[in-house]
């Protein structure tokens, strides 16, 4: 008979499974959040560049530009700045655009106010239409916050904490007194009759009780 070859121990050995290396899970921000963060960084960078350009104009032409007390600028002053050549065209446009949008500059645009040139000299005046246009660009005043309905009303004496609340302890005492039950009147005390056998000894009491009992049956 042909004997079948038994499998060797090498064939019977079970090889352990090789585990795949664990990959660290990383949370990635959503595309919308990334775009919003990028837009905010871009705005902040632009605002910083605008402030720097305005500051450069004030330092280069202090007789014309002022952050604290701005004055209306001459019409066409941008062309004069570019022709002067002290600043780059990009910084001039950026600085002027930010300067003329400032709240203080818009307030300076009153009817008949003098405009100034690069030398700080009067050169033209603000018209009524230009003044009205500047007023239209001013931000609307903030509305006062609504009063809290739960706030306590102020007392007539000017106390901000409001009128004092009534004394609850006295009020509760009055209520308890009103609902209290009337006190029970004491019943008349019945006086007990004197004991006829008081002062007698045991034999005398027995004899007296016997005489009393016999007298009742007569």
pLDDT at 75: 95
Structural tokens at position 11: 């064939």
Scored b (16 or more CB within 10 A) or e, 143-179 reads: eeeeeeeeeeeeeeeeeeeeeeeeeeeeeeeeeeeee
pLDDT at 34: 85
Residue 96 CA to residue 90 CA, distance in Å, equals: 10
For residue 116, the tally of other CB atoms under 10 A from its CB is 19
Q: Helix or strand or coil: residue 72?
A: coil
Residue 103 CA to residue 105 CA, distance in Å, equals: 5
For the chain (218 residues), the mean pLDDT of every run of 10, in chain order, is 47 51 53 85 91 96 95 96 95 95 95 96 96 90 68 54 58 69 58 63 76 69
Expressed in angstroms, the distance from the first to the final Cα of the chain is 145
Question: Which residues lie below 8 Å from residue 196, measured CB to CB, with a gap of 6+?
Answer: 208
Q: What angle do CA 207, 209, 212 make, to 5 degrees?
A: 110
Residue 163 CA to residue 160 CA, distance in Å, equals: 9
**What is the residue whose two structure tokens read 């305005």?**
54
Let me know if residue 128 belongs to a domain: yes
Residue 59 CA to residue 62 CA, distance in Å, equals: 6
Structural tokens at position 160: 């901000």
pLDDT at 30: 81
Let me know if residue 91 belongs to a domain: yes
Total domain count, the chain: 1
Domain that holds residue 113: 37-137
- Give the H or E element holding residue 41: helix 31-60
Q: Helix or strand or coil: residue 186?
A: coil
The 3-state DSSP composition of the chain as helix, strand, coil percent (nearest 5) reads 45, 5, 50
pLDDT at 26: 47
Let me know if residue 179 belongs to a domain: no
The torsion defined by the Cα of 44, 47, 48 and 51, in degrees rounded to 10, comes to: -160
pLDDT at 214: 73
Let me know if residue 207 belongs to a domain: no
pLDDT at 203: 75
Let me know if residue 52 belongs to a domain: yes
The torsion defined by the Cα of 59, 65, 69 and 72, in degrees rounded to 10, comes to: 180
Let me know if residue 79 belongs to a domain: yes
CATH number at residue 93: 1.10.1710.10
Q: Are 51 and 95 in contact (CB under 8 A)?
A: no
């Amino acid at each position: 008979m042909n004997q079948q070859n038994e499998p060797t121990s090498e064939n019977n050995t079970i090889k352990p499974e090789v585990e795949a290396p664990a990959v660290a899970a990383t949370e990635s921000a959503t595309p919308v959040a990334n775009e919003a963060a990028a837009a905010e960084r871009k705005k902040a960078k632009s605002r910083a560049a605008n402030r720097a350009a305005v500051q450069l104009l004030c330092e280069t032409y202090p007789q014309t530009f002022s952050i604290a007390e701005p004055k209306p600028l001459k019409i066409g002053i941008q062309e004069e700045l570019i022709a002067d050549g002290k600043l780059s065209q990009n910084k001039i446009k950026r600085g002027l655009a930010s300067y003329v949008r400032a709240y203080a500059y818009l307030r300076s645009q009153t009817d008949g106010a003098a405009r100034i040139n690069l030398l700080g000299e009067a050169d033209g005046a603000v018209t009524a239409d230009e003044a009205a246009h500047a007023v239209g660009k001013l931000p609307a005043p903030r509305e006062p916050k609504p009063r809290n309905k739960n706030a306590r009303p102020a007392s007539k004496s000017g106390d901000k904490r409001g009128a004092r609340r009534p004394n609850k302890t006295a009020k509760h005492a009055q209520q308890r007194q009103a609902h209290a039950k009337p006190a029970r009147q004491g019943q008349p005390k019945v006086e007990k009759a004197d004991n006829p056998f008081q002062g007698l000894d045991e034999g005398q009491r027995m004899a007296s009780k016997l005489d009393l009992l016999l007298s009742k049956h007569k």
